[in-house]
Amino acid sequence: MSPILQAMNLSKRYGGRQALASVSIAIEPGEFVVVLGASGSGKTTLFRCLTRLTEPDTGEILIGGQPLHGLKGRPLATARRQIGVVFQQFNLVRRLSAMDNVLAGRLSATPFWRVLLGQFDDADRARAADALQAVGLAGHIEQRSDTLSGGQQQRVAVARALVQDAAVILADEPVASLDPETATSILSLLHGLTRSHGIGVLCTLHQPELAHRFADRIVTMEAGYIIETAHVPNRVVEPVV
């Protein structure tokens, strides 16, 4: 299988500090890859470079085999749509409903005038409702995001990546703000999507035990370098409800 997302020799320097040092990584469809590493080891810089929110100094990125570098404007937006992002702090619009936050995932696929008018078609709404159901929030579709629990808010963020048609989800410390039980359920959800939807997931975690429980592959970073890659063959994970 060819990777959905591949980076070769990514480097990024901030002043005198090498935040990323010639990092190469590839994520296959349906694969759950965990990045472990101490704070400051370069995990977030790697994620930002993978979406080109931060411009790497050197290196190449391929999304679905297509080079991401050199793209600007709409072609860059189209390529980026294949990458869903999930953050520690959920990054939802707090006063909007779960449904409206998920519909935001369709924005780059929606003509600008329809966005201005707040108009999404029925097909978009049906997809958003399906995605919310897939993440276990069928009963919370119209609820305001800031009244949802942390775990529920993170589920909305995952649903937003789903309706975006992301082929890969980059989740930077997605469970760092959650209690252990909720953290496990979110990782189980993401893991389930790798198996049910063939989505690739790249996820940073602080807890090695969670990495060992869910990952197909564990990549360890230190001082901007990948210092170890460990494969977990034939991973079978029991779903957590």
What's the closest the beta carbon of residue 167 comes to ligand ADP, in angstroms?
23
Site stretch for ligand ADP (CB under 6 A), options 43-51, 85-93, 124-132, 185-193: 43-51
Closest CA to 90 of 50, 55, 135: 135
Residue closer to ligand ADP, measured from CB, 156 or 201: 201
Site for Mg ion in 20-49 (CB under 5 A): 43-44
Out of Mg ion, ligand ADP, none, what residue 94 binds, judged by CB under 5 to 8 A for its kind, is none
User: Which tokens go with 92?
Assistant: 């939802």
The single residue listed with the structure tokens 């290196």 is: 59
What's the closest the beta carbon of residue 125 comes to ligand ADP, in angstroms?
36
Is residue 42 within the footprint of ligand ADP (CB under 6 A)?
A: yes
The single residue listed with the structure tokens 């252990």 is: 180
Is residue 163 within the footprint of ligand ADP (CB under 6 A)?
A: no
Is residue 44 within the footprint of ligand ADP (CB under 6 A)?
A: yes
What's the closest the beta carbon of residue 170 comes to ligand ADP, in angstroms?
12
Q: Which of 43, 140, 155, 191 binds ligand ADP (CB under 6 A)?
A: 43
Q: Are 178 and 190 in contact (CB under 8 A)?
A: no
Q: How many whole angstroms separate alpha carbon 13 and alpha carbon 34?
A: 23
Q: Which of 8, 26, 29, 40 binds ligand ADP (CB under 6 A)?
A: 40
Is residue 145 within the footprint of Mg ion (CB under 5 A)?
A: no
Q: Give 103's contacts (C-beta < 8 A, 6+ positions apart).
A: 120, 124, 125, 128, 163
What's the closest the beta carbon of residue 99 comes to ligand ADP, in angstroms?
32
What's the closest the beta carbon of residue 52 comes to ligand ADP, in angstroms?
14
Q: Are 159 and 135 in contact (CB under 8 A)?
A: yes
Is residue 220 within the footprint of ligand ADP (CB under 6 A)?
A: no
**Torsion angles phi and psi, residue 202, rounded to 5:** -120, 120
Helices marked H in 94-200? 98-103, 112-116, 122-134, 150-163, 180-197
Angle, CA 155 vertex, CA 68 and CA 148 arms, to 5°: 130
* Positions in the binding site for ligand ADP (CB under 6 A): 14, 17, 19, 37, 39-45
